[in-house]
């Protein structure tokens, strides 16, 4: 297959992904938030404001208030750590698929190694003497990270372990004193607690059973992994085996059996220009409707983090401009479905200064459309936007 045929194949894959993720036609109406969280296999929401922008790019007339109405006890959205050790917003109905379908055993080993360095007991002891008593005390209320820290300090001290330690953070040389162990991330991966939003500047946590209004059943991690991989292939396919390993964070050796179990349900395609098999859950198809000429995506958007090989959306040679050191994924501008530039913003009161860096030469006819899209973005944030092009 020559380069032009390869390019056409990648364009088709790109188009399918844009449609599945509501970037060629926005979602609207009741249930739109859950629909987007589902079709993106979770919106990356390490930075909650960026996640709002991801929803805005995909939903007609989105408002953060819509999110807050759904992100609540018994609501349709949940938010916690899952694949690749990042925070996602995903449908509450799939809570355990996302949490236990992620590489829990790998994270568990890392928690144990770190606990051993600090002189903290093994996981079984942590669960019995720290986490279960904490859940009994918590009841049906939510609690801040700071209060969890206080509770764990007291428990460690009662076990004859120093509950507080002096820490220095990478960005500051000033030592701070804090709990030697809070267990928040580990309890999240065990499905015991989940994020319950903010109270002022404090992150709140709640018993997962209370949040979901259902009892935690004995979950089979292998079955959850299978469901999560199936969901990823459905919405990001056609994808390669390496894409699946990259997105889920699972070791390849653990995924081979999962793919074998799913093989009968998958459409498998081969291309002569590489040795990879491409998996889809159903035969790839797309409409011939027009893609929005300009799409703005924030940092760490789910589309940009969806594949190991991002050539389908990023022009070759420009990956390092979009994916910077330490896993930073920059905010992007898509023109006719492909990344043409990156952008960064600085907020000054009610004004936002946006600097656009072109990765490919932007057609002069597109610049007014880009500026118009940024004005819409400014309206969403109730701010005035000033744009400069590099």
**At which residue do the structure tokens 């390496």 appear?**
242
Interval 305-318: pLDDT, tens: 999 888 888 887 88
What is the rounded distance in angstroms from the CA atom of residue 45 to the CA atom of residue 302? 9
Q: What is the mean pLDDT of residues 243-256?
A: 95
Q: What is the pLDDT of residue 288?
A: 60
Least confident of 88-97, 206-215, 323-332: 323-332
Confidence of residue 1 (pLDDT cuts 50, 70, 90): very low
Q: What is the pLDDT of residue 169?
A: 57
**What predicted TM-score, i.e. pTM, was given to this entire model?**
0.91
Neighbouring C-beta atoms of residue 101, cutoff 10 Å = 27
What is the rounded distance in angstroms from the CA atom of residue 188 to the CA atom of residue 214? 16
Q: What is the pLDDT of residue 52?
A: 95
Q: Which of 271, 260, 209, 266 is nearest to 232 (CA)?
A: 266
pLDDT at 273 over 80: no
pLDDT at 334 over 60: yes
Percent of the chain with pLDDT over 70: 94
Q: What is the mean pLDDT of residues 209-229?
A: 89
- Looking only at the bridges linking them, the beta strands covering 384-389 and 87-91 are unpaired
Answer for the pair 20, 235: CB distance below 8 angstroms, yes or no.
yes
Tokens of 234: 């459905």
pLDDT at 272 over 70: no
Interval 96-108: pLDDT, tens: 999 999 999 999 9
What is the rounded distance in angstroms from the CA atom of residue 194 to the CA atom of residue 197? 9
170, burial (CB in 10 Å: exposed 0-12, middle 13-18, buried 19+): exposed
């Amino acid at each position: 297959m020559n380069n032009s045929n390869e390019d056409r194949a990648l364009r088709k894959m790109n188009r399918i992904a844009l449609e599945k993720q509501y970037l060629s036609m926005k979602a609207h109406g009741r249930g739109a938030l859950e629909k987007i969280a589902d079709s993106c296999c979770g919106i990356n929401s390490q930075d909650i404001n960026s996640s709002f922008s991801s929803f805005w790019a995909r939903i007609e007339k989105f408002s953060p208030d819509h999110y807050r109405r759904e992100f609540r006890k018994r609501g349709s959205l949940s938010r916690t750590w899952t694949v690749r050790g990042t925070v996602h917003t995903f449908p509450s109905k799939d809570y355990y698929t996302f949490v236990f379908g992620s590489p829990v055993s790998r994270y568990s080993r890392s928690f144990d190694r770190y606990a051993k360095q600090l002189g903290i007991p093994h996981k079984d002891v942590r669960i019995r003497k720290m986490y279960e008593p904490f859940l009994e005390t918590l009841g049906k209320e939510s609690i801040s990270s700071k209060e969890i820290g206080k509770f764990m300090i007291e428990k460690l001290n009662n076990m004859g372990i120093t509950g507080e330690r002096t820490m220095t953070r990478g960005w500051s040389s000033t030592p701070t004193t804090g709990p030697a162990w809070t267990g928040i991330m580990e309890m999240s991966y065990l499905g015991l607690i989940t994020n319950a939003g903010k109270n002022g500047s404090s992150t709140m946590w709640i018993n997962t059973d209370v949040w979901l209004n259902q009892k935690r059943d004995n979950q089979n991690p292998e079955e959850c992994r299978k469901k999560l991989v199936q969901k990823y292939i459905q919405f990001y396919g056609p994808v390669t085996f390496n894409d699946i390993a990259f997105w889920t964070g699972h070791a390849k050796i653990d995924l081979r059996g999962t793919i074998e179990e799913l093989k009968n349900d998958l459409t498998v395609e081969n291309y002569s220009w590489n040795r990879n098999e491409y998996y889809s859950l159903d035969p790839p198809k797309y409409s011939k409707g027009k893609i929005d000429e300009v799409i703005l995506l924030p940092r760490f958007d789910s589309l940009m983090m969806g594949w190991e090989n991002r050539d389908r959306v990023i022009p070759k040679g420009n990956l390092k401009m979009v994916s910077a050191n330490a896993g930073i994924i920059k905010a992007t501008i898509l023109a006719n479905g492909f990344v043409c530039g990156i952008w960064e913003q600085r907020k000054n009161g009610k004004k936002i200064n946006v600097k656009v860096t072109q990765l490919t030469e932007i057609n002069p006819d597109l610049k007014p459309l880009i500026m118009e899209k940024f004005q819409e973005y400014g309206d969403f944030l109730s701010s005035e936007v000033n744009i400069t092009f590099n």
